Amino acid sequence: MTENNLSFEQELQMLEAIVSKLEQGDVPLEEALDQFQKGVALSKKLQTTLQNAEDTLTKVINEEGQEVPFEEKNE
């Protein structure tokens, strides 16, 4: 599996590993900057995936087969 085809969980594990490594503080500056940039990119990608999932979960299919926003009934 290439890095572009990793699952959400695999990418989250990669981000956690990067954060853990950077928190230890014994990483050379150049490597730390590279890991930081990779972590920021992973974080943005994961946030986008979560937002898309949330958007999907907040929609329902109406009787005409169209997606419509889910609205809570306030009684």
pLDDT score at 30:
96
| Residuewise pLDDT in 10s, the chain (75 residues) | 455 789 999 999 999 999 999 999 889 999 999 999 999 999 999 999 999 998 888 888 778 888 887 776 555
DSSP for residue 5: G
DSSP for residue 70: -
Distance CA 13, CA 74 (A): 39
User: Among the residues of 25-70, which ranges form H helices?
Assistant: 29-57
Q: pTM, whole model, 2 decimals?
A: 0.73
Closest CA to 22 of 13, 11, 33: 33
